[in-house]
Amino acid sequence: MSIVINTPNGNIGRSLAEKLLAAGKKLTLISRNPDKVADLAKRGARVVEGSIDDKAVLERALAGAEALFWLTPPAARPDYHTWAIGAARTAAEVVKAQKVARVVVLSSIGAQSGPGTGPVGAMRDVEEAFKAATPHFTSLRAGFFMENLLRNTDTIAKAGAIFMAMTANKRFPLVSTSDIGAKAAEVLLDPKWTGHRNLGVHGPADFTQLEVAEILSQELGRPVRYNEVTVEQARQGMLGAGMPAFLVDIFAEMYAAIPSGRMDPAEPRSPETTTPTTLAQFAREVIKPAVARASA
């Protein structure tokens, strides 16, 4: 019996696949481009070619599976919410028919709020679809990704600043994708948990945007300031950068939901939700080289 990963090409799915293979687990990967996971196939992973919204592909992948790790891909189409929920419901139907005992879903802080939270707005329905289909379900409700800070590489390099439509003094959890992959592996390799649960993945601490800028200044060896902008200013900036209008709308909706608390974590921070990679470490190892390249 194998563990199925529906998104093995991204940072989290690949990290998880490598950890499960290293632990000796049988693995099935769904990929529209098998060449991208050829190295994992050489290590023993079974590859099912096709799309995650194709029922026939899901049936082939989940036949005889013991568990599924489901990650909803980033927003990349105007009908994103409808598509994301539809794909999850199709997968949940197959999970139920194939009697897959365990499902682990990558979700997000704010998932409890449902629609109106930008890219997170589909996650509550995604969670509910799988909860109805399997006896043992874990939703990993991750904080904001540290990797999202890489979107500010150019402005840090050229202006020494981060521009975001987030309240400067509001605290939020910040987590690296490598730690999310490690937490997913921990859950999938643990046979003891049962039932349905939501588990926060909160990084090492909660930060304000001002604290983020201070840590970046220290680790990058250059001043970095935080400039809070309005949602409308962020919208115009995203449009000016060439982002598709539908995607601008999705992110603007998320930014608008933050001040009201709709994107706050529903799960309290605990030793189980706290992960090890610090923002200082991430800044040194990932952001600093990226800023150096942007400055060259």
Report which secondary-structure segment, H or E, holds 59.
helix 55-62
pLDDT of 182 over the 90 cut:
yes
* In-domain check, residue 113: yes
pLDDT of 296 over the 90 cut:
no
pLDDT of 75 over the 90 cut:
no
* In-domain check, residue 72: yes
* In-domain check, residue 7: yes
Query: What is the C-alpha separation between 48 and 74, in angstroms, rounded?
Result: 21
Question: What are 49-58's pLDDT values in tens digits?
Answer: 999 999 999 9
* In-domain check, residue 269: no
DSSP conformational letter for 6: S
Spell out a b/e string for 188-212, using b for 16 or more CB atoms within 10 Å of the CB, else e.
beeeeeeeeebbbbbbbeebbbebb
* In-domain check, residue 189: yes
* In-domain check, residue 246: no
pLDDT at site 212: 98
In terms of residue numbers, what domain contains 68? 3-144+175-201
- Helix segments in 99-230, DSSP class H: 123-131, 153-159, 177-188, 209-220
Predicted model pTM: 0.96
**Once rounded to an integer, what is the mean pLDDT over residues 194-218?**
98
Query: What is the C-alpha separation between 40 and 46, in angstroms, rounded?
Result: 8
Question: What are 233-247's pLDDT values in tens digits?
Answer: 999 999 998 999 999
pLDDT of 153 over the 90 cut:
yes
Cα of first residue to Cα of last residue in the chain, in angstroms, is: 50
Residue for token pair 């983020």: 212
Q: What average pLDDT does the chain have?
A: 96
Per the structure, the count of domains in the chain is 1
- CA diameter of the chain: 56
pLDDT of 28 over the 90 cut:
yes
* Count of C-beta atoms within a 10 Å radius of residue 245: 11
* In-domain check, residue 183: yes
Query: What is the C-alpha separation between 21 and 156, in angstroms, rounded?
Result: 38
Measured CA distances, 126 to 84, 144, 243 (Å)? 8, 19, 26
Tokens of 97: 């028919």
Considering only CA atoms, which of 89, 98, 94 is closest in space to residue 127? 89
CATH (domain of 134): 3.40.50.720
pLDDT at site 240: 93
Query: What angle, rounded to 10 degrees, do the helices at 245-257 and 231-240 form?
Result: 160
* In-domain check, residue 68: yes
Using DSSP's 3-state secondary structure scheme, residue 269 falls into coil
Phi then psi for 44, rounded to 5 degrees? 115, -5
